[in-house]
Amino acid sequence: MIPDNFSSLEQVSAALKAAGVEKSQLVVGVDFTASNKSNGKKTFGGRSLHDVSEETSKNPYEQALSVIAQSLWDFDDDHMIPAYGFGDLHTGADNIFSFNERDKPCKGLTGCTQRYREIAQKVHLAGPTSFAPIVRQAVNLVTETNEYHILLIIADGQVTEGHVRETSQAIAEASNYALSIIMVGVGDGPWDLMDHFDDKLPGRRFDNFQFVEFNKVFAKYPAEKREAAFATHALMEVPEQYQAIKRLGLLRPTRRQFPASRLVPCSPPDSSLPSDPWHGLPDGWDSYVDKKSQRIVYVNMESNVQTWVRPTAEAKIPQGFGKTLSESTASTIASSRSSKRSLTSSSF
């Protein structure tokens, strides 16, 4: 598919149908790492890439999600979109959080973008960056439904060193399932590693990963063709991937190959369950689990004070241990409900 041949998203969808794509389910993964604060210096006027302060204009995350969701609208029979975030203070590189409580999917594009805007105003960006949890969650959804899924990952940068191997393994494992992965890079990059995932990753049954740089495409085409061109760049490998999935028998009705491990997504950062370590904290406080000690760390987001002592509304801000949050130092909430229940303040 050549972008210059299309002037509308409807034409892109028609081309997908003509190429043999019959039905798909969309899954969304959004990067909430700390680098989003500064990685729009060149491409987003110096604003955070998650800035949603202007109601009449979309940030790059919203634009990318909107174009892909509209392009795939005709292929989704229920228009329910499972949507997840990763890389925030609660999840880091080890887990994901669902956009909705109890892991309910979003109702269409409107429901997904509305929840994104609500979360973007509440989430505490952290890190590091790993795509492994969101890829494995998409695999879980494929096995539950035995339907072809397209995972859309929108991120502002590459996988953090130290998590490349795990992400590579997750992508390779995903090639055993009826799943296409589209990674959209927003912000300033760099993107060298994404090209490696796209073209040079060994051990896959088929080429299941497509990378497209959002701003590079938008800068190349006139305004009236940008969305169609971007959708084409993002989806151009889907027909071939879909044919490979059918050829390999990954959609056989009797095929039920379940992955070795299954994630339990965290609650959204703007809500909580009683089992969540951040449940019931005073305004301005959040928490994460220190990976070395497995103890809950409480963070005052305004003063950046961190402490082992659970804060109360009446207490003054305690003297902390002075560790500064960053994408490289933030740790994560445990990845299962059972481990969360064992990590309560009463344990210490």
Cβ–Cβ under 8 Å, residues 129 and 135:
no
Predicted pLDDT at 342: 32
CB 308 within 8 A of CB 69: no
Residue 286 β-bridge partners: 299
Average pLDDT over residues 12-27: 91
Are both 9-247 and 274-343 of the same fold?
no
* Span 112-161, pLDDT tens digits: 999 999 999 999 999 999 999 999 999 999 999 999 999 999 999 889 99
Query: Is the model's pLDDT at 299 over the cut of 90?
Result: yes
pTM of the full structure: 0.89
Give the model's confidence band at 319: pLDDT under 50 very low, under 70 low, under 90 confident, else very high: low
> Domain spans of the chain?
9-247, 274-343
pLDDT tens digit sequence for 92-109: 999 999 999 999 999 999
* pLDDT exceeds 50 at position 335: no
Give the pLDDT of residue 141. Answer: 94
Which helix H or strand E contains 245, and what residues bound it? Answer: helix 238-247
Q: Which of 88-102, 161-175, 204-218, 330-344 has the lowest mean pLDDT?
A: 330-344
Long-range contacts of 239-244 (CB under 8 A, 24+ apart): 239/16, 239/19, 239/20, 239/21, 240/207, 241/180, 241/206, 241/207, 241/208, 242/19, 242/20, 242/21, 242/148, 242/180, 243/20, 244/205, 244/206, 244/207
In CATH, 274-343 is 2.60.60: no
- Cis (ω within 30 of 0) for the bond into 253? no
Q: What is the pLDDT of residues 62-81, one digit of tens each?
A: 999 999 999 999 999 899 99
* Domain 9-247 homologous superfamily, CATH: von Willebrand factor, type A domain (3.40.50.410)
